[in-house]
Structure 1
Amino acid sequence: MVKWENVLENVSPKTSQFKVLTYLAFKGSSQPAQISADTGIPAGTVRPALRTLLDKGYAVQSENGSYTSLVPFTDIVSHLYSVNKK
């Protein structure tokens, strides 16, 4: 089992990667255009973020082009809580 807390330590909450990962973890499988429309992050930023998340093994892409987070939303929330508590 992957220790997602270690993964989340390597992705700053200020980055588009983190924002896209959080969106996918919360909303579930989504197309890049939908991610862009819902988050306001430009498509030209969403697509590279998705490629990076794929390369790092934090997300997967299905045959229909949608992406899914492998990091559970609850782990992201727990990580943010623990970081803010320090």
Structure 2
Amino acid sequence: MINFSLEGKIALVTGASYGIGFAIATAYAEAGATIVFNDINQTLVDKGIAAYKEKGINAHGYVCDVTDEDAVNKFIAQVTEEVGVLDIL
């Protein structure tokens, strides 16, 4: 049961293609947030997008290695341009 609203908010959850990250992102989506997630490779991102779609969630998935500072900066710039400014990390 959701007791709060994240309507209009954009949430980024790293590594949310499966597991705990997926569960957290799903809860945010159920509260109304737009979901952005990243993972280390395209296969995981594709699997994540499919899993969110099965739940009726339109998630935005990106490949990004969070150990690479330049990659993270490019990722955030791309997300900001394509989805909007992040509200939740």
* TM-score, with length taken from structure 1: 0.31
Q: Which structure exhibits the higher relative contact order, with contacts defined as CA atoms closer than 8 Å and separated by 6 or more residues? A: 1
Structure with bigger helix share is 1
Structure with bigger strand share is 2
* TM-score, with length taken from structure 2: 0.30
